[in-house]
C-alpha cells in the first residue's frame, strides 16, 4: 500500500469489450487527471498523464483545445497514479507492463519529473517497458533522453508528426517544431542511443490525408522510417473528423516503399483513447 497517496482514484470507467479501463484520479489540490489501462494482446499498457492539462493547443486533443494547463505533475504524483492502477488491476506476470507517457500533457515539458519517475518505476518494476510520445516541442530534451534513459533497457520514443507540411502541422499543432530540425534531431538521437524511433500520424478528413500529403511524408522521412497511422478518436469539441481516405493514403505510402502500420487506440467508447482524456 502507498501511505498517504498524493493521487487518489475517484472513479473507473469500463470499455464495452472490457479491454480498457479509464481511471479518473484527483490530486491533493483537487485537480483531475486520467490514466488508462489496457489489457492488450502481448502486454499491459498503463497510459499515464505527466501534466495537469496541456499548453500546446493541438486541435485534435481535448486539453489542447481547452488550453487548460495548470501545472506539471511531480515524479511522486506520476508514480502514484500508476501504482494506483497496478494495485487495482493486479496485472499478472505473464506479459510485461508498458508504462506509456502518452496521456495528458507534453512529457518533454515536464522532463525532470518524468525521468525521475521512469527511473523509480524501472527499479521497482523491473523487466517491463517504457514509452514516451512527444510533439518534439523541446528538441534538446529529445537528445537528453538518449543518455538519461540509457540504463532502461526497453524504451520506445514516438514522435507525433501528423503532417509533413509545415503550415498544416503548425495549424494542427500551433506550438510545434521545425520539421527539418526535428528529423535531424531524431537522427542524432538514434545515433547516440542506438534505438529506433516511431513516427505517429493521425489522419484527419480532408486535412492531412491526401495523396499529396502522403508524398510529402515520404519526402520528409524516406522509406527507412516506421510510420504508424492512427485513427482519429472523436473529441466532441474538435472540428476535425475521422479520415475517409485512409486506404488510398496508406497504399500511396506503401507504393513508395515506406514501412506503415495502422492501428486504432483502445478505449474510445469511454473517452480513454489518445486525445480524449480530460483534465480539469
Give the C-alpha separation, 116 to 127, whole Å.
Answer: 17
Residue 1 has pLDDT above 50, yes or no: no
The model's pLDDT over 253-274, given as tens digits with 9 standing for 90+, comes to 999 999 999 999 999 999 999 9
Among residues 34, 77, 83, 225, the one annotated as catalytic is 34
Mean pLDDT along residues 210-222: 97
Nine cell digits for residue 96: 510485461
Q: Is 20 labeled as catalytic in the residue annotation?
A: no
Residue tagged 524516406 (cell numbers): 222
Sketch out the chain's domains with CATH numbers. 7-204+262-270 (3.20.20.70)
Nine cell digits for residue 8: 487518489
> Helix axis angle, 139-148 relative to 179-193, nearest 10°?
10
Among residues 20, 54, 61, 274, the one annotated as catalytic is 274
The model's pLDDT over 13-59, given as tens digits with 9 standing for 90+, comes to 999 999 999 999 999 999 999 999 999 999 999 999 999 999 999 99
pLDDT value of position 4: 62
Residue 73 has pLDDT above 90, yes or no: yes
DSSP state string for 176-239: ---HHHHHHHHHHHHHHH---EEEEEEEBTTTS-SHHHHHHHHHHH-SSSEEEEEEPPP-TT-S
| pTM tops 0.85, yes or no | yes
Q: Is 34 labeled as catalytic in the residue annotation?
A: yes
End-to-end CA distance of the chain: 27
Q: Which helix (H) or strand (E) holds 254?
A: helix 246-255
Strands 7-14 and 97-101: unpaired
**18 within 8 A of 30, measured Cβ to Cβ:** no
Amino acid at each position: 500500500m502507498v501511505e498517504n497517496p498524493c493521487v487518489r482514484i475517484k472513479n473507473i470507467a469500463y470499455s464495452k469489450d472490457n479491454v480498457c479501463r479509464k481511471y479518473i484520479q484527483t490530486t491533493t489540490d483537487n485537480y483531475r487527471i486520467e490514466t488508462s489501462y489496457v489489457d492488450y494482446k502481448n502486454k499491459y499498457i498503463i497510459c499515464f498523464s505527466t501534466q495537469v492539462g496541456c499548453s500546446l493547443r493541438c486541435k485534435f486533443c481535448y486539453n489542447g483545445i481547452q488550453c487548460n494547463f495548470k501545472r506539471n505533475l511531480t515524479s511522486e504524483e506520476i508514480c502514484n497514479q500508476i501504482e494506483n492502477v497496478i494495485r487495482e488491476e493486479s496485472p499478472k506476470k505473464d506479459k510485461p507492463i508498458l508504462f506509456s507517457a502518452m496521456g495528458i500533457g507534453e512529457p518533454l515539458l515536464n522532463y525532470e519529473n518524468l525521468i525521475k519517475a521512469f527511473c523509480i518505476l524501472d527499479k521497482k518494476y523491473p523487466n517491463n517497458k517504457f514509452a514516451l510520445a512527444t510533439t518534439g516541442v523541446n528538441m534538446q530534451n529529445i537528445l537528453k533522453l538518449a543518455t538519461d534513459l540509457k540504463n532502461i533497457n526497453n524504451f520506445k520514443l514516438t514522435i507525433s508528426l501528423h503532417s509533413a507540411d509545415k503550415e498544416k502541422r503548425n495549424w494542427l499543432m500551433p506550438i510545434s517544431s521545425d520539421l527539418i530540425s526535428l528529423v535531424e534531431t531524431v537522427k542524432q538521437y538514434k545515433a547516440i542511443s542506438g534505438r529506433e524511433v516511431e513516427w505517429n500520424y493521425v489522419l484527419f478528413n480532408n486535412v492531412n490525408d491526401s495523396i499529396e500529403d502522403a508524398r510529402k511524408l515520404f519526402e520528409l522521412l524516406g522509406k527507412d522510417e516506421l510510420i504508424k497511422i492512427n485513427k482519429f478518436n472523436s473529441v466532441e469539441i474538435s472540428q476535425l473528423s475521422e479520415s475517409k481516405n485512409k486506404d488510398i493514403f496508406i497504399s500511396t505510402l506503401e507504393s513508395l516503399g515506406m514501412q506503415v502500420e495502422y492501428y486504432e487506440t483502445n478505449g474510445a467508447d469511454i473517452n480513454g483513447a489518445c486525445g480524449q482524456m480530460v483534465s480539469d
